[in-house]
Every structure is written in structure tokens, then in C-alpha cells.
Structure 1
Amino acid sequence: MEPRASVLLLLLCAALCTAQVELMDCCLSVANRRLRPDSVERYRLQRAGHGCDISATVIQVRGGRQLCLPPPENQRWIQRLLKVVDQRKSRQQ
């Protein structure tokens, strides 16, 4: 009976570990849509190969809507946008 108990315990541990995996929404494509910095609430960078197929800048605008923009590398306007958002966030803290 002890081998059965250890197998059941192992299965329970495996089920709990997989249940705690965080699901992430991935951008499937990006748009070259310019935004005003004051409309951006927050952002995160999505990297290809880390759970998603493409790299992108995921922008959350006021109202909770998310937009997928190109990654900041080689996109100076996105670099400037993220810098302004970061500066605004640091002033608020």
C-alpha cells in the first residue's frame, strides 16, 4: 500500500505544480501605431522564445485596453515613449 501512496503523492504534486503556471497573453502581431505618452498606463516587454512567438512591447492604455507595438530595439519612437512613461512613474513614487 505504501508504493501506491507515494505514487498518488507524486501525481498530486505534479498536478499542483502545473496548476500554478501563470498563463500569459501573447501578442501575435504588432502595429506601428503612435501613442501619446499620457495615454499609456503601463507597459511590459514580450520576448520571443520566453513563452511567446514574437518580441513586442505590450502597452496598456487608459481604459485597460492593450496594444501590441514593435519591440523598442531600433524603434526610437518607442524608446522615447517608454522613457517618458518610466520618468512619469518614478515621479509618482
Structure 2
Amino acid sequence: MTSNAAALLLLALICFQFAAAQVPVDCCLSVSEKRLPYKNLLSYTIQEAGKGCDISATVFLNRHQMKLCVAHPDDNQWVRWLIKVLDKKKDAHS
């Protein structure tokens, strides 16, 4: 009886791990060098390579709910400036 319960628990654990590994992640596959107009941007997230995605990037969300991939802020001063602008806009509305 105990071995059946242990086997069932092990099977459940394996199934859980398999399901967790199959969670799709929406990643940027490349980045654009095009400068984005800050007035159309609503928010951003930072994508780190090795944490479910292949490359590091900054993902901006615009007014049309489109995700726009640009360089990681560590790699681009213009992206750091955009992030500061959005953070100030967010703080002003809080």
C-alpha cells in the first residue's frame, strides 16, 4: 500500500514538472534599433537572457497594445532614457 502511494506521488510530481516546463514564454527573438516615440509608450518590461528567453531586451508596450523589442538598457543609453521617462510618467499618475 505504501509503495503504491509513493509511486502515485512520484508520478504526480513528474507530471507537474513536465507541465511547468511547458509554460510558453513570450520572448523577443530580435531587437530593433529604431527609436520609438515616447508619447506612444505605456509601459515596459526587461527581458533577461537565460531566464526563459534567448536574448536580453527591453519590451515596450505602446498605445495599440503592441509589444516592441529594443536593446537592453545596459546596452543602450536611449533605452535607459525612455525607461526614466516612463517611470516619471507612472509616478506622476500615482
Q: Distance between the aligned counterparts of 1:92 and 1:17, measured in 2? A: 41
**Partner of residue 4, structure 1:** 4
Q: How many residues align?
A: 93
Q: CA deviation at 1:18?
A: 4.4
Match of 2:40 in 1: 39
Q: What's the TM-score once normalised by structure 1's chain length?
A: 0.85
Question: How much is the aligned-residue C-alpha RMSD, in angstroms?
Answer: 1.8
Q: CA deviation at 1:56?
A: 0.6
Q: Deviations over 1:18-41 (max 9, x none)?
A: 435653211111001211212111
Identity %: 40
> Which residue of the partner structure matches residue 49 of structure 2?
48
The answer to whether residue 19 in structure 2 is matched with residue 19 in structure 1 is: yes
Q: 1:14 to 1:68 in 2, by over 3 A?
A: same
Cα distance in structure 2, aligned partners of 1:46 and 1:34: 18
* CA distance in structure 2 between the partners assigned to 1:92 and 1:15 by the alignment: 44
In structure 2, how many angstroms separate the alpha carbons of the residues matched to 1:77 and 1:50? 24
Alpha-carbon separation, structure 2, partners of 1:61 and 1:18? 34
2:58 counterpart residue number: 57
The worse-fitting range, judged by mean Cα deviation, of 19-28 and 54-63 is: 19-28
